[in-house]
Amino acid sequence: MLKILGSAKRLCDSLSRREMLRVGGLGMFSLGLADLLGLQHLQAADKPATPASFGRAKRIILLYLYGAASQHETFDPKPEAPAEIRGIFKPIATSIPGFRICEHLPQIAKIADRLTFIRSMTHPYNIHSAAYTLTGIDKVDIPMELNPYDSRHWPFFGSVLDYLAQRKPGGAPTPEMPRNLSLPFRFSSRCAEFKRGGPYGGFLGRAYDPVCTEFEGDASSTVLRWRGESDQPVADPYLGIEPESRLLLSNAANLGPDMTLDRLDRRRGLLAQLDDSRRQFERSADTRSMDRFREMAYRLVSSEKIRGALDLSKEPLSRREGYGMNLFGQATLAGRRLLEAGATLVTVFWDEIQTANSAWDTHFSHFERLETELLPGLDHALAALVLDLEERGMLDDTLVLCLTEHGRTPKLSQTIRGAGRDHWSNTYCGVLAGGGISRGKVIGASDKQGAYVKEDPISPKDVLATMYHVMGIDHRLTIPDRFNRPFPLVSEGEVVHHMLG
């Protein structure tokens, strides 16, 4: 029997690491991945009965505020703190008795009784690493943050959901509607200075990257952004877009702008002629990824369903305006339409445009940008989404997540470009709704200055574990990396049961 040497440390699913490596590493000589997953599901069946919240969600929509939203100016204001901490905005009452949020979020305040707010998010990585929030990885650093394809990256949780669904008995490997979509464009693709890691396939391979849309249209206004030496005008569609603007499938999803359906058909036929000989050999992970990529591209190019879901002209103008006639609002509305059409996960990014220190990264001009650009867009999109899902009978089985990578410093910094708040991961906020989550609940608390967690610390890994739970997946499950080594879905973290409804 072939064995792989390794530590005998027990994993939380009761298999030892050595046993997992022995089973997972045999490849074609012994148990395959399907057998391994089946074995783990059998083990899970021996555990006590799971709560009613397990598997309550059928789909997820993630609203991601890249750049790090301030806890003080969103969901954890500190009106009794000194002026250099509390800032200039006032708190307002919400539909949860005794719970107050920022005055520039009035629509969210009205629907707070449908949401669960976390005021005690915390982790040790004070950098813009979306990867730490969105993947199960145990540690990150700046080189990883700035390299989407650093070999150390773990897969985005949407990529994991896609991967597991593909391997479920009877599951379609390449469904007409992709399971994992990213809007309004490929993450970090509009920033001229950096390309950041996070929502990608990681060790599962690039074939498990999200299928991305592309924005085609015009921003309705420009804004001055600092570009290193001076202010320069930037046409930022997150401030507003023309109504005729639209979201299309990215060229990356259909193998290039010149790839027509006929050409793809011919290419597919040529590839089919090679199948018999290719099956005689063990294919590499890269080759399998490319095969999946081609198959997905073929389905996307020929899919009327996805094109129809992205056609926002089918929505009443009043609904479009309710979401906000800006890129974040319209992408959120498109996300709801994609979920209705059969997508499992849609991620909507509020992303950088042209330069760093944009989106929610408010090192300077903090209050001006929050009041005129950021808070109104979030307020309309999140509130409209929750009410829209509720009206359509989808909220109970749709998990809504609104996340950011960290918070902002309690004490304001004074710059020549206006007050700002810098990076701060010791405490910050998150919002969840629907799909097995409690309604009208506030989880955790920070201290009087919004600096440190006072009670009930919640890690991004706890949120991921809870997300897997409501999707009917045990977060202790393992998946193989490119060397067939077993990795847990989440490196650490537990389901937050008191968050569940």
pLDDT tens-digit series, residues 10-36:
333 344 443 443 333 333 333 444 444
Q: Report phi then psi at 286, rounded to 5.
A: -65, -40
DSSP 253: G
Residue keyed to tokens 């509390």? 86
Check residue 304 and give its pLDDT. 83
User: 49 pLDDT band (50/70/90 cuts)?
Assistant: low
What does the alpha-carbon distance between residue 57 and residue 468 come to, in Å, rounded to a whole number?
Answer: 9
pLDDT in tens, 270-301: 444 444 444 443 344 455 555 565 666 666 66
Structure tokens at 62: 């993630």
What does the alpha-carbon distance between residue 204 and residue 136 come to, in Å, rounded to a whole number?
Answer: 13
The distance of Cα 102 from the centroid of its chain, to the nearest Å, equals 24
Nearest Cα neighbor of 179 from 339, 385, 350 is: 339
What does the alpha-carbon distance between residue 200 and residue 307 come to, in Å, rounded to a whole number?
Answer: 23
Q: Report phi then psi at 152, rounded to 5.
A: -85, -10
Check residue 50 and give its pLDDT. 65
Check residue 33 and give its pLDDT. 45
DSSP 61-80: EEEEETT---STTTT---TT
DSSP 224-235: EEE-SSSEEEEE
What does the alpha-carbon distance between residue 445 and residue 387 come to, in Å, rounded to a whole number?
Answer: 27
239 close to 220: Cβ distance less than 8 angstroms: yes
Q: Inter-axis angle of helices 375-391 and 327-340, to 10 degrees?
A: 20
Beta partners for residue 423, in sequence order = 408
Give 367's contacts (C-beta < 8 A, 6+ positions apart). 73, 87, 88, 89, 418, 419
Give 269's contacts (C-beta < 8 A, 6+ positions apart). none
pLDDT in tens, 311-362: 999 999 999 999 999 999 999 999 999 999 999 999 999 999 988 889 999 9
Cα distances (Å, whole numbers) of residue 97 to 81, 236, 331, 440, 488: 22, 37, 32, 9, 40
DSSP 167: T
**Residue-wise burial string across 90-127, b where 16 or more C-beta atoms lie within 10 A, e elsewhere:** ebeebebeebbbbebbbbbbebbebbbbbbbbbbebbb
On the question of pLDDT at 467 being above 90, the answer is yes
What does the alpha-carbon distance between residue 291 and residue 204 come to, in Å, rounded to a whole number?
Answer: 14
What element of type H or E holds 467? helix 460-470
Mean of the per-residue pLDDT values for the chain? 85
Q: What is the maximum alpha-carbon separation in the chain? A: 73
Domain annotation for the chain: domains and CATH numbers: 1-49 (no CATH), 59-499 (3.40.720)
What does the alpha-carbon distance between residue 448 and residue 78 come to, in Å, rounded to a whole number?
Answer: 7
Task: Using CB atoms within 10 Å of the CB of residue 480, give its burial: 0 to 12 exposed, 13 to 18 middle, 19+ buried.
Answer: buried
Structure tokens at 469: 């739970």
pLDDT in tens, 212-253: 999 999 999 899 888 777 788 999 999 999 999 999 987 544
Structure tokens at 331: 């992408």
Residue keyed to tokens 């990264």? 361
pLDDT in tens, 98-156: 999 999 999 999 999 999 999 999 999 999 999 999 999 999 999 999 999 999 999 99
Check residue 229 and give its pLDDT. 74
187 close to 198: Cβ distance less than 8 angstroms: yes
Structure tokens at 221: 């206004």
Cα distances (Å, whole numbers) of residue 325 to 138, 317, 364, 462: 38, 10, 26, 34
N- to C-terminal Cα separation, the chain: 48
What does the alpha-carbon distance between residue 411 and residue 418 come to, in Å, rounded to a whole number?
Answer: 14
Structure tokens at 336: 């709801």
DSSP 302-316: T-HHHHHHT-GGGS-
What does the alpha-carbon distance between residue 198 and residue 147 come to, in Å, rounded to a whole number?
Answer: 9
On the question of pLDDT at 447 being above 70, the answer is yes
Structure tokens at 246: 């639209």
